[in-house]
Amino acid sequence: MKDWLTLLTEAVAATNITAVAVKLDVSRTTISLVLANKYPARTDKIEERVLDTYARHTCTHTGVEITHAECRRTSASDVPTSSPQAMRQWRACKGCEYQGR
């Protein structure tokens, strides 16, 4: 999986800073400062938003491409008790290299 700053840079290159800022629900200035390595605060929340929005990988259980947010939601969910399929997915998530990272 690509690192979040690479994903952010590619997203801006594919569209523009304003479009990415809107999609991430942050200011245009925030994106500009982060890309210039001049953002004065911690970037962990921006990193999380970028990964949730742009990071994708193939689920090792289903073989389907999913977002970082979908992966994290599934791997962090409570144990499913009503569906054997959901239980198999949950168990696979617990042993997965990604586990919502």
Write out pLDDT tens, residues 58-67. 888 889 998 8
Whole-number Å distance between alpha carbons of 58 and 83: 22
- Reported as a pLDDT band with limits 50, 70 and 90, residue 19 is very high
- Total-model pTM: 0.72
Q: Rounded mean pLDDT of 30-44?
A: 96
Whole-number Å distance between alpha carbons of 79 and 56: 24
Give residue 81's pLDDT. 87
Whole-number Å distance between alpha carbons of 23 and 20: 5
Whole-number Å distance between alpha carbons of 91 and 32: 40
| 1: pLDDT strictly greater than 80 | no
Give residue 92's pLDDT. 87
Whole-number Å distance between alpha carbons of 95 and 89: 10
Domain ranges of the chain: 1-54, 56-101
